[in-house]
A and B are shown apart, each in its own frame.
Chain A
């Protein structure tokens, strides 16, 4: 039984079709990457899961139970941080969490608030007003808020937005901990492929509201085609061997560029060496980000 399943989800904003026939499943224990450029429909989809935006059509199931427009019970099992972490700025972190603890009707509010604030390393700053917090601290408080009621699923929409590299690394570590130590299923959206690659085990690539690709992150990475730039001592011999293998090549001055799947690179190089091609230099010039940009164009 998938923890969350989305079937044929559509959302129109007047005539603008923001999400188109979106389908995906999230299993318990997944760290599910939701990847797409800005405006791809990621936040809209996540907001539909949370009942902040109503779908125009389609179905969402949480633990095999269909979510209806007015059904809100399932939200007690979901924690979320959507876009910016917005709190009551004139209240302290502790008082903010107290509000959410009351909303969640937690039995031992103080103990739970202490646990999550320690989890995100904000316990020492619990009495400070949120307006004095840095962006990174607000993001961590956002995650504390999402963890407060011990959810089964946590949804993080662009959690690294506005963070410096150190903050991004801390955030990744925190998400790893949430998944591995707390055993919470995570959906994380981002427009940065490398971020998803480092965190997620499965991912969905979305663009213009449509699903582009979905599956295991490493399998998807391996199936991605790279561009290799090769320089050989005898360029014409190299071109001849490429032609024999039906590999399309493009000559750029003293280099030859070929397009090849990442998983096939090792085999391709061995065959070239076996055929007597003397490769003096090779560069993988198409990055994963370029691939992502290419397929989401």
Chain B
């Protein structure tokens, strides 16, 4: 099994698209932070446009924590696409190219092969999310330095600089879980089709449709909203409330884990029984 995982990671490392993800994130982070450095007050004004006249704000407001928080909001929409680019065709891409046939001719069970792919996909996903988080925070620290975090949720929360890092850590944890749902979903779809592009487009389409539904039709689908995984993608923000709503966060973690288990289970079940005709 360890050998299979190493081989899957080796294959991921040899694919140019693997580096597109890291490159894109690096570009977004660099562009965002350098833009914030040049025009940070305008950025702050954009976020708190209705409140600027009401408060007098002093000190280092545009700091690593503020920039990282905004970047995490931004990357929420890009990272799933970058994850799916690599994980989406780990089975179907190999099926369409025919190399899956060679792999399945070796004395490993399909269960071992599926889970080796799942683990490799998860390692890539976690690495990508951590890279995004660490780059945003590291570069932000160098460029802006530390400071209290101003966030606007239902109200303005001002979080002391000493009290922020752990919140980012936990928030990143939720982000990792959310992206593992995405990679598990794409791997599941990948087990059903034999073309490279289907799972990539399919997964992105599912995420877009669910996001649009939960944004535009809140009243209509209110009863099922708590059960959609996309609803919980933004639950990392709850770590930035003055009083953390642990039950909601715990529920989000459970829902996300449940989706990972279901998507992985369905993908594994299908992969185990399917005939390899390509």
* A residues adjacent to B (C-beta < 8 A): 13, 47, 50-54, 70, 72-76, 78, 80, 82-84, 86-91, 95, 99-100, 102-105, 145
Contact = CB atoms under 8 A, between A and B. Distances in A.
A73 B107 contact: yes
B31 to A, nearest CB: 29
A53 B276 contact: yes
Name the residue in B103, B105, B106, B277 with the highest tally of chain A Cβ atoms < 10 Å from its Cβ: B105
B105 A78 contact: yes
Contacts of B3: 102-103, 105
B14 interface: yes
A250 B7 CA distance: 66
A52 B101 contact: yes
B105 A80 contact: yes
Given A102-B6, A102-B7, A50 B105 contact: yes
Contacts of B107: 72-76
25 contacts: A13-B275, A47-B275, A47-B277, A51-B104, A51-B105, A52-B275, A54-B273, A54-B275, A72-B106, A75-B107, A80-B105, A83-B98, A84-B98, A86-B97, A86-B99, A87-B99, A88-B99, A90-B14, A90-B15, A95-B14, A99-B10, A102-B3, A103-B3, A103-B103, A105-B3
Contact of B106 (A53, A82, A84, A100): A100
A90 B14 CA distance: 8
Overall SS of chain A's interface: loop
Interface string B93-121: 00001110111111111000000000000
A52 B104 contact: yes
Interface in B10-69: 10-11, 14-16
B99 A75 contact: no
The residue in B3, B16, B107 that gathers the most chain A C-beta atoms within 10 A of its C-beta is B107
5 closest Cβ pairs, A-B complex: A86-B98, A52-B276, A75-B107, A53-B275, A76-B107
A145 B97 CA distance: 16
Contacts, number: 71
Given A87-B102, A90-B14, A99-B11, 11 more contacts: A53-B276, A54-B275, A72-B106, A78-B105, A80-B105, A83-B98, A86-B102, A88-B11, A89-B97, A103-B3, A103-B106
B106 A104 contact: yes
A74 B107 CA distance: 7
Contacts of B15: 90
Nearest to A83: B98
A224 to B, nearest CB: 33
Contact of A88 (B14, B101, B106, B109): B14
A72 B104 CA distance: 9
Interface of B: 3-4, 6-7, 10-11, 14-16, 97-99, 101-109, 273, 275-277
Contact of B105 (A75, A84, A87, A105): A75
Given A76-B107, A145-B102, A53 B277 contact: yes
Contacts of B10: 99
Contacts of A105: 3
A84 B98 CA distance: 8
A76 B106 CA distance: 6
Nearest to B276: A52
A88 B102 CA distance: 10
B91 to A, nearest CB: 14
Contacts of A80: 105
A259 B193 CA distance: 52
A286 to B, nearest CB: 36
Nearest to B101: A82
Nearest to B277: A53
Contacts of B99: 86-88
A134 B275 CA distance: 29
Contacts of B106: 72, 75-76, 100, 103-104
A136 to B, nearest CB: 17
B275 to A, nearest CB: 4
Contacts of B104: 50-52
B170 to A, nearest CB: 38
A9 to B, nearest CB: 14
Given A52-B104, A88-B11, A47 B6 contact: no
Contacts of B277: 47, 53
B185 to A, nearest CB: 25
Contacts of B14: 88, 90-91, 95
B3 to A, nearest CB: 6
Nearest to B273: A54
A115 to B, nearest CB: 19
A18 B54 CA distance: 77
Nearest to B16: A90
A79 to B, nearest CB: 8
A83 B4 CA distance: 24
Nearest to A90: B14
A84 B109 CA distance: 23
Contacts of B7: 99, 102-103
Contacts of A54: 273, 275
B34 to A, nearest CB: 33
Contacts of B103: 103
Nearest to B8: A99
